[in-house]
Structure 1
Amino acid sequence: MTKPIDLYAMAYQDRSDRVRWLLEEMNVPYTNHFLKKKDGEMNTPEYRKLNPMGRVPTIVDGDIVLHESAAICLYLADRYSYGKLAPKMDDVKLRAEYTKWMVFSVGSLEAVIARMFTHVNTPEESAVTYKYVKEQSEFFKLVLNPVLEKQDYILESGFSAADIMLAAVIPGAHDYLVKGNPPLERYMERMKARPAAIKVKVFE
């Protein structure tokens, strides 16, 4: 790496939070570029060349341009913390678990949570949305609780990029998934105490 990674975002607590947290855990230099959507900074020709959808986060790492937070974290962990925050490919079982949780965090968990920001335009719509999130959270507990009852991190090998991805998403469903649920409460306390997460304001 010849220069710091460029990280494009809107704010600390958007989907760039997990990318920034991972970079801090790995001590990889980066530069924040905060874009103002209301000023059209996500819709300029220059930014659209980096991310045709005009969304965040996006990173530029040398000649690598990448968007989608999970893809970014998978790439960064493999490139800069392979065998530490990203299990090695030859550890087939552990790598499979790691990939599962990385995908679960955005493909299952965040996909449900996102509804609370888009399907709440009327009281009736809000009621349906919150009922749906509450119901889905019970399914999420079926896979998360057994793991976090027996170990501190989502992988038996210890802290990894999968924890960053998961813990950054979970707060969106805190009242349904974490509150009154000891395994998740303890897990989130551990994640919130990590110096790198505190430094980049993931949970503020």
Structure 2
Amino acid sequence: MLKIYHAKNTRSIRIVWLCEELGIPYELERLNFTPAELQSEAYLAIHPLGKVPSIDDDGLVLYESGAIMQYLLAKHGKGRLEPANPGSPEHAKYLQWFHFAEATFMGPLGNIAQHAFVRPEDQRVPQVAEEGRQGATRMLGILDKELQGKDYIGGAEFSAADIMLGYSLLLCKLFGVLKDGHPNVSAYFARLSGRPAFQKATA
């Protein structure tokens, strides 16, 4: 059975959420977000950087949330949660937003996390956290424009790109970055966070 290594409020939410949406059976290995657990010899044998998520799928060990998502979609999706025609404009846009969530959006959010919450106070640089907030706000502006008149990032249909983005928006909410100035994003996140699979993944 698929085993997911998971810690609260981390990227592993994406993997649990996807499994809940697709009905993929899984076993959850809960970890505390502490050096004692993530940097333990046992866990470093799974993920050499001591980060989450990682999975063990009957002996196949993977990390990187986007790669795990694409692997599980290819293995279990049967066309669900992705546009139907690879190579089509719709599929190209889906890939853009799927990867935007991690490659672009998570950069400033990571700076906020590190310099406002994770690092010891004497190692935090407030300017880096503030620049992260400014960068994240810019990303929200881009999304707010894209979501005009849409229920989901690809239009009317929920997709795995929404799962990738939904985790980024969860961090925006937790960090106090997602406020009233981006009404389309706020409405979008309300739709995402109302899904039972999201609620299960973030419980």
TM-score, length basis structure 1: 0.84
Percentage identity across paired residues of the two chains:
29
Q: Which residue of 2 aligns with 1:164?
A: 163
1:7 partner letter: I
Q: Which residue of 2 aligns with 1:125?
A: 125
Kindly tell me the number of residue pairs found equivalent between the two proteins.
196
DSSP-derived class of the 2:152 partner: coil
Q: What pairs with 1:1-204 in structure 2 (closer than 5 Å)? A: 4-9=1-6, 11-36=7-32, 37-40=34-37, 42-44=39-41, 46-88=42-84, 90-120=86-116, 121=121, 125-126=125-126, 128-156=127-155, 158-174=157-173, 175-200=176-201, 202=202
CA deviation vs aligned residue, 1:42-77 (integer Å, no higher than 9, x gap) = 422x43332222221111112421101111112112
Distance 1:97 1:68 in 2: 21
Distance 1:71 1:136 in 2: 25
Which range is displaced more, 62-71 or 25-34? Answer: 62-71
- After superposition, the CA RMSD in angstroms is 2.4
Distance 1:122 1:54 in 2: 23
CA deviation vs aligned residue, 1:101-132 (integer Å, no higher than 9, x gap) = 12111111111111112224369832x23431
Checking the alignment, whether the CA contact within 8 Å between 1:148 and 1:154 is kept in structure 2 is: yes
Please, which runs of 5 or more residues in structure 1 have no aligned partner?
none
Distance 2:137 2:200 in 1: 32
Structure 1 residues 176 and 13 mapped into 2: Cα distance closer, same or farther (>3 Å)?
A: closer
Distance 1:12 1:119 in 2: 19
DSSP-derived class of the 1:176 partner: coil
Distance 1:114 1:131 in 2: 12
Checking the alignment, whether the CA contact within 8 Å between 1:145 and 1:184 is kept in structure 2 is: yes
DSSP-derived class of the 1:7 partner: strand
Which range is displaced more, 169-178 or 158-167? Answer: 169-178
Checking the alignment, whether the CA contact within 8 Å between 2:2 and 2:27 is kept in structure 1 is: yes
Checking the alignment, whether the CA contact within 8 Å between 1:134 and 1:176 is kept in structure 2 is: yes
Checking the alignment, whether the CA contact within 8 Å between 2:55 and 2:63 is kept in structure 1 is: yes
Structure 1 residues 40 and 156 mapped into 2: Cα distance closer, same or farther (>3 Å)?
A: closer
Please, which runs of 5 or more residues in structure 2 have no aligned partner?
none
CA deviation vs aligned residue, 1:105-164 (integer Å, no higher than 9, x gap) = 1111111111112224369832x2343133223431342112211210011251011101
1:132 partner letter: E
1:154 partner letter: I
Checking the alignment, whether the CA contact within 8 Å between 1:191 and 1:197 is kept in structure 2 is: yes
